[in-house]
Chains A and B, each alone.
Chain A
């Protein structure tokens, strides 16, 4: 089944983060915000001091309600850091978390082009263009939930396999331990004494 194409009007909100001076120190965030407003389907663009902090997140939530946003672009830092944060934020405002997109103005822009105000600002605008272009086509997604069979397979009956099997069993789960030899014990059982305590291997 392919995700259904929604027919509703696309309403994108763009949130440009200063990150204190982390972004605003090297990028003209005001210009980026103004530019974002001119992009297709963008109905509001807001500049925040710190978008990830509670006041910033509340601004997103308020804007979603006020402007009936159904797509959100957060132009701040790397999605590898705050994608879960902002997904949760839009979820709390009633939006499917997959309708949020980020533009990386910090790690990929302000922090690496501090001496190039114009170049960095032009790049930041393009990163927002890219994120908005993508956001307009985002679809709500449902995460699949898969049940987990309550049994663990341990392959190998050496010291590691034995220990793992005991621990899993102690935790109350079924374990199947598979060993190719006639006895468990593995290489360790072939040793006489073991370091550092000089005790028997078996």
Chain B
């Protein structure tokens, strides 16, 4: 924290595990033994090895618990609080060091500018939290209680202090939290609703003045303080993207890891065998971290105890003979479950395949079979449904997890919509190939809807981005063929959005009514499949390109 200096050889902190000295090679002169090398000389056990280097250790594992924690928000960018300009503005993490008996001041709480004990301390809440302006709209969950704890700690050490807390809302929602909040108030801490807009420093005394609109009274107040503590929020850890790439995980809008289901599977990652513990999944305190860690441990133990796992037989299979060795499927698989080397046929790692079908819809050579959701099966459904009176029907592709489930939700909620829609279910919207959509138009469908999960909800990490790309291409194809591209629609409907499902079906019905019999007849003709020759040429071109 920069409050005191540290030698090149040190123990990280007295209770460190392992409790051994480490040599910081950035500070050590031993890289050049002519310059130093004293420590090696005096160490009787010969424990110092300047040439020790990082090494890669490989271990097979059956489950992974991701507990990579958090990073603390750096308030430098919020210049109005003057963290980088004023000595006596510190963060809540620095407060911990200052008040800690094992810290640089041996627990004597002094302020940085003159090492005097500050009496009037202000705490500013939500620094880096609940602030959309800096891209941190979420609540960090722990800072309110941490500040309440700090005020009590401070009052406990020095009964004569005056603590002021500037806040938007105090969120004291956990067991015995409210009691702590009341104790802090009884101990004399003042709570003022409103965040300071500006901090000024008196260059002579180092004292600070916070200007704040007290939103309870509506008045502008000025508070002179000896020291200011910024109650900093927490942010997703820097390593999150790296780990996310290794384990094919996704993140939610706030940047933390996305769980399999927010209520029913809050510990499971979308990737099988991966579980979350602690902060990296969402901001939480120690108790909740311990709870989730226990759950993650229990889940991985259950997996290990089972000794083996059954994989639903919906996975992808590649016909080596038909494979054009283009590698396209390997590139788009969200799970990295397809291995491919230049000049070789692609191979599915079945245990890693989740069965989304992105690869099946991408392969132009018919080399990929999605077991249980084959091209033939889905095409037969399209043709079957549209065999009679297609002009009356709204044709819908819906993904199993979200949009089909959204339709179920509409049903459970008895939300009514026109009976013209015909839904075909696929595991993921990315399973829907361009051919399937075109086939629906060829069979006379007036309108087609492709629907899937919202971006953040995709059950196959990000497979539905393939859906977007495919629909974009289809709009171009339709337009080129003189078919009104608006006849193809795309919607994201979550499992909870029964209302939206019904609304979209009504809109689709309205759209259907605008499509004339002539338009439908034109589409049937204009979208007829290309002669085989072109397909072969394409294959040759793709082969040559790789």
Whether A and B touch (Cβ < 8 Å) is answered with yes
Interface flag for B28 (CB, 8 Å): no
Q: Which stretch in A6-14, A48-56, A60-68, A191-199 binds the other chain?
A: A191-199
Contact A193-B65, Cβ < 8 Å, known A2-B317, A123-B422, A144-B350: no
A143 pairs with B380, CB closer than 8 A? no
Contact A149-B60, Cβ < 8 Å, known A156-B66, A168-B300, A185-B16: yes
Q: Is the interface of A mostly helix, strand, loop or mixed?
A: mixed
A112 pairs with B148, CB closer than 8 A? no
Q: CA–CA, A193 to B263, complex, Å? A: 31
Quick one: closest B residue to A96, CB to CB? B313
- Which A residues from 116 to 154 make CB contacts under 8 A with B? 116, 119-120, 122-123, 126-127, 129-130, 132-134, 136-139, 141-154
Question: Could you mark each residue 291-313 of chain B with 1 if its beta carbon is under 8 Å from any beta carbon of chain A, else 0?
Answer: 01110111011011111111111
Interface flag for B13 (CB, 8 Å): yes
Contact A148-B309, Cβ < 8 Å, known A130-B381, A176-B59, A198-B153: yes
- Which A residues from 151 to 202 make CB contacts under 8 A with B? 151-168, 171, 173, 176, 180-196, 198, 202
A129 pairs with B385, CB closer than 8 A? yes
B286 pairs with A109, CB closer than 8 A? no
Interface flag for B279 (CB, 8 Å): yes
The residue among A113, A143, A156, A176 with the most chain B CB atoms within 10 A of its own CB is A156
Contact A164-B97, Cβ < 8 Å, known A111-B411, A171-B301: no
Q: CA–CA, A104 to B300, complex, Å? A: 35
A168 pairs with B416, CB closer than 8 A? no
CB-CB < 8 A to A109: which residues of B?
A: 419
A198 pairs with B149, CB closer than 8 A? yes
Q: CA–CA, A41 to B18, complex, Å? A: 71
B294 pairs with A163, CB closer than 8 A? yes
B385 pairs with A130, CB closer than 8 A? yes
Quick one: closest A residue to B502, CB to CB? A112
B415 pairs with A171, CB closer than 8 A? no
- Which A residues from 38 to 89 make CB contacts under 8 A with B? 78-81
Q: CA–CA, A9 to B308, complex, Å? A: 36
Q: Which stretch in B370-378, B454-462, B513-521 binds the other chain?
A: B370-378
Quick one: closest A residue to B405, CB to CB? A80
B68 pairs with A133, CB closer than 8 A? no
Contact A108-B65, Cβ < 8 Å, known A119-B419, A132-B384, A196-B145: no
Q: CA–CA, A136 to B310, complex, Å? A: 26
Contact A155-B404, Cβ < 8 Å, known A141-B371, A145-B310, A185-B17: no
A148 pairs with B307, CB closer than 8 A? yes
B68 pairs with A183, CB closer than 8 A? no
CB-CB < 8 A to A107: which residues of B?
A: 407-408, 410-412
Interface flag for A114 (CB, 8 Å): yes
B289 pairs with A163, CB closer than 8 A? yes
B374 pairs with A137, CB closer than 8 A? yes
Q: CA–CA, A104 to B422, complex, Å? A: 11
Interface range, B side: 35 or more
Interface flag for B424 (CB, 8 Å): yes
Interface flag for B177 (CB, 8 Å): yes
Q: CA–CA, A145 to B408, complex, Å? A: 31
Closest CB in chain B relative to A36 CB, distance in Å: 12
B415 pairs with A155, CB closer than 8 A? no
Q: Is the interface of B mostly helix, strand, loop or mixed?
A: mixed
Closest CB in chain B relative to A129 CB, distance in Å: 5
Interface flag for A115 (CB, 8 Å): yes
A182 pairs with B311, CB closer than 8 A? no
B414 touches which of A114, A134, A158, A198 (Cβ 8 Å): A114
A168 pairs with B297, CB closer than 8 A? yes
B304 pairs with A164, CB closer than 8 A? no
Q: CA–CA, A78 to B369, complex, Å? A: 25
Q: CA–CA, A103 to B61, complex, Å? A: 41
User: How many A residues face the partner with a CB closer than 8 A?
Assistant: 84
Contact A148-B297, Cβ < 8 Å, known A120-B419, A129-B384: no
B63 touches which of A127, A148, A202 (Cβ 8 Å): A148
CB-CB < 8 A to B372: which residues of A?
A: 98, 138-139, 141
Contact A144-B400, Cβ < 8 Å, known A160-B277, A164-B296, A196-B175: no
The residue among B293, B319, B381 with the most chain A CB atoms within 10 A of its own CB is B293
Question: Could you mark each residue 379-407 of chain B with 1 if its beta carbon is under 8 Å from any beta carbon of chain A, else 0?
Answer: 01101110100000100000010001101
CB-CB < 8 A to B312: which residues of A?
A: 143
Contact A133-B62, Cβ < 8 Å, known A120-B419, A150-B304: no
A198 pairs with B381, CB closer than 8 A? no
B60 pairs with A151, CB closer than 8 A? yes
A184 touches which of B17, B405, B410, B419 (Cβ 8 Å): B17
Contact A196-B177, Cβ < 8 Å, known A3-B371, A137-B374, A142-B313: yes
Closest CB in chain B relative to A55 CB, distance in Å: 24
B309 pairs with A114, CB closer than 8 A? no
A112 touches which of B22, B153, B415 (Cβ 8 Å): B415
B69 pairs with A183, CB closer than 8 A? no
A160 touches which of B69, B146, B148, B149 (Cβ 8 Å): B69
Known: A2-B369, A112-B419, A195-B177. 13 other contacts (CB 8 A): A80-B404, A98-B313, A108-B408, A111-B411, A112-B414, A130-B385, A138-B372, A150-B307, A152-B61, A155-B66, A158-B289, A184-B17, A196-B179
> Could you name 8 residue pairs across A and B whose Cβ atoms are closer than 8 Å?
A104-B423, A107-B407, A107-B411, A116-B418, A129-B387, A132-B384, A145-B311, A163-B290
**A-B residue pairs, 4 tightest by C-beta:** A160-B278, A107-B411, A167-B297, A119-B419
